[in-house]
Amino acid sequence: MQRSNKRFNLKLIGTVSNRQWITKLLCLILLLPALSFAKNDSNTIVILGDSISAAYGVPTESGWVALLETKLKQKSKHYTVVNASISGETTEGGVKRLSEILDRHNPAILIIELGGNDGLRGFPLSHIKTNLQTMIDQAKSNNVMPILVSMRIPPNYGRRYTNGFYDLFEQAADKNDIALVPFLLEDIALKPELMQEDGIHPTALAQPIMLDRIWKTLAPLL
């Protein structure tokens, strides 16, 4: 009888052990997708943008990117901000530069503020869409959290192109389940006192407003 009990106990222990092992394995499998897209341990935020983020026509320290770095310090958020924005940059230019930027800075977060120059030049919407997707994919494959900034353009190319251009950004954000910052110049572009003489670039007075738009989306993700 004792031998029988021992056999029974061994079988029972083996069954429990197997169940525990299977449970752990299932938990690991379920966790893998989250791990593959997890934000890395870096404390760097990179802004990949055009003249709107490059502080065109205003002192660099007055631009929204510089103001972001100041705000992070005020909030005791220990992040380094790298501004990789270039005036006149397009989504294609962003794609070409992104690999080197990611390798050099290894950011935790990538804010993509590109597409405005593409739209102003009437580039094909499919071209812009592909480039945005490429940058998002590249960021995710490096465990970098991408944040997309929405864009608007004047209706020079007609309603169909203009609306399609605007929709691109929301569609890209929805498809990839990433955060979307509203158009930075909303309620700014039509106020002369907040725009430079060219009617395209915001003044120093507009920069804190732009930062507020970025911050509302960025802060919960830090």
The residues carrying an active-site annotation are: 51, 198, 201
Q: Which two tokens stand for residue 146?
A: 């991408």
How many CA atoms lie less than 13 Å away from 163 in the CB half-sphere? 3
Q: Which two tokens stand for residue 5?
A: 């009990």
Q: Which residues contact 30 (CB under 8 A, 6 or more apart)?
A: none
Please provide residue 134's backbone torsions phi and psi, each rounded to the nearest 5 degrees.
-60, -45
Return the HEC string of 52-82: CCCCCCCCHHHCHHHHHHHHHHHCCCCCEEE
For residues 60 and 57, what is the distance between their CA atoms, to the nearest angstrom?
9
